[in-house]
Amino acid sequence: MKNLKKFLIVIILIVLSILALLIGQGYKMYKEAISTMPLSQKVESIKSQKDYTNLSEIPKIYTVAVISVEDHRFEKHHGIDVIAIARAAFNDIRTMSFVEGGSTITQQLAKNMYFTQEKKITRKIAEVFMSYEIEKNYSKDEILELYVNTIYYGNNYYNIKSASLGYFDKLPKDLNSSECTMLAGIPNAPSLYNPKANPRLAKQRQKQVIQKMIKYGNLNKEDANKILDKNI
């Protein structure tokens, strides 16, 4: 029994040491990123882009759809959704692969602004530190606005305006409810849910978005059916 206790203590110490090392490396990555370009300067560089779209120019149903499908606790957390991370970690361990990310909208914004798409633990930790920095300095509306202006929609469209014009030949403010719900689903897998290349898969993804909106009380079934009946 004593040997077992000693063994468990050693294992716990090893795990804690590895965790401390990873956190240290992630923090270093975060500090290096923000020292290269301070957050305020990075935000201004994004806002100065010619295709930048203000939140007031985007239909409400689009932002509701994005929050429903990407991060339904967006308004409640401070950059990190512990519940989503725990669920993702469980599923990743169960399948022994990165099948679920658990990233919030703020974390995705942090990644798009400063880091690569590479799936590394240290990058995820750096992302966490950056998310707290973003949440500390910007409102939820500002974060959401930055997010839709930096997310990748496929087809070389890196913001909502270029995606809206490219896929539907419309400015974001002119998108209808069907186009909004379809566009909201694309960033999850841009090449797969490209409505021009894969209209059937894009429609399936749109249904998933609408189901999430219904689930979280952001859309009723009658309006959902009207949206799905529209042809794009």
For residue 97, pLDDT over 60 is answered with no
pLDDT band at residue 72 under the 50/70/90 scheme: very high
For residue 89, pLDDT over 90 is answered with no
* pLDDT score of 92: 52
Return the higher-pLDDT residue of 190 and 17: 190
The domain segmentation of the chain, as residue ranges, is 22-32+49-150+157-229
For residue 91, pLDDT over 60 is answered with no
Give the pLDDT mean for 23-48: 95
Mean pLDDT of all residues belonging to the chain: 90
* pLDDT score of 229: 85
* pLDDT score of 90: 55
Give pLDDT tens digits for 104-122: 999 999 999 999 877 788 9
pTM: 0.87
* pLDDT score of 9: 80
* pLDDT score of 82: 82
For residue 188, pLDDT over 60 is answered with yes
For residue 95, pLDDT over 80 is answered with no
* pLDDT score of 116: 84
Instruction: Please provide the CATH number assigned to the domain covering 22-32+49-150+157-229.
Output: 1.10.3810.10
For residue 200, pLDDT over 80 is answered with yes
Spell out the long-range contacts of 59-64 with Cβ–Cβ below 8 A and sequence spacing 24 or more.
59/172, 59/173, 59/175, 59/177, 59/180, 61/177, 61/180, 61/181, 62/148, 62/160, 62/172, 62/175, 62/180, 62/181, 62/183, 62/184, 63/144, 63/148, 64/213, 64/218, 64/219
How far is it, in rounded angstroms, from Cα 85 to Cα 15? 19
Return the higher-pLDDT residue of 15 and 220: 220
Give the pLDDT mean for 150-156: 96
The fraction of the chain above a pLDDT of 90, given in percent, is 74
* pLDDT score of 232: 67
